[in-house]
Amino acid sequence: MTDQTVPSETVPSETVPSETVPSETAADLWAAIDALWTWLDTDQPIGGREGMALCMLKLSEEVGEVAQAVIGATGQNPRKGVTHTWEDVQGELCDVVITALVALRTLTPDTREVFDRHLERVTKRSLGPASR
């Protein structure tokens, strides 16, 4: 893939400092994840450990859709040509994030706390202790 195939607005030229997410937005995110988990959990034909495993496998499906969208956005399949946009890729990446958070919610009702702790560890490990 060359730089010419990726719109310049989708590839930052420099690292952008992270901004603090307003707590209202974060609360909406976690409320939405809980609502999605409840909706999915209510109509699960298969429950228990097998249902949980299937929830985790859904991530692989979503990641595959990201790959398909990237291939389509770059026209890498000569038989199909350009079939997707970079906006499609963005949407598929969002689906991966949502699916991962719902899967995490399947494992624990303390999804937000577990995620926040893990994000803090990864941030400190990657950016150093002054990053948070």
Digit-coded pLDDT (tens) for 45-54: 998 899 999 9
Question: What confidence score (pLDDT) does residue 21 get?
Answer: 54
What count of other Cβ atoms lies within 10 Å of the Cβ of residue 59?
A: 15
Quick one: pLDDT band at residue 16, thresholds 50, 70, 90? very low
Q: Which two tokens stand for residue 42?
A: 């209510």
Does the structure show a pLDDT above 90 at 9? no
Quick one: pLDDT band at residue 58, thresholds 50, 70, 90? very high
Please tell me whether the overall predicted TM-score, pTM, comes out greater than 0.85 for this model. no
CA distances in angstroms from 113 to 6, 56, 88, listed in the order given:
36, 20, 30
32-51: average pLDDT: 92
41-48: average pLDDT: 88
Digit-coded pLDDT (tens) for 84-132: 999 999 999 999 999 999 999 999 999 999 999 999 999 999 998 776 5
Sequence-distant (≥ 6) Cβ neighbours of residue 5 within 8 angstroms: 73, 74, 75
Provide the mean pLDDT of the chain: 85
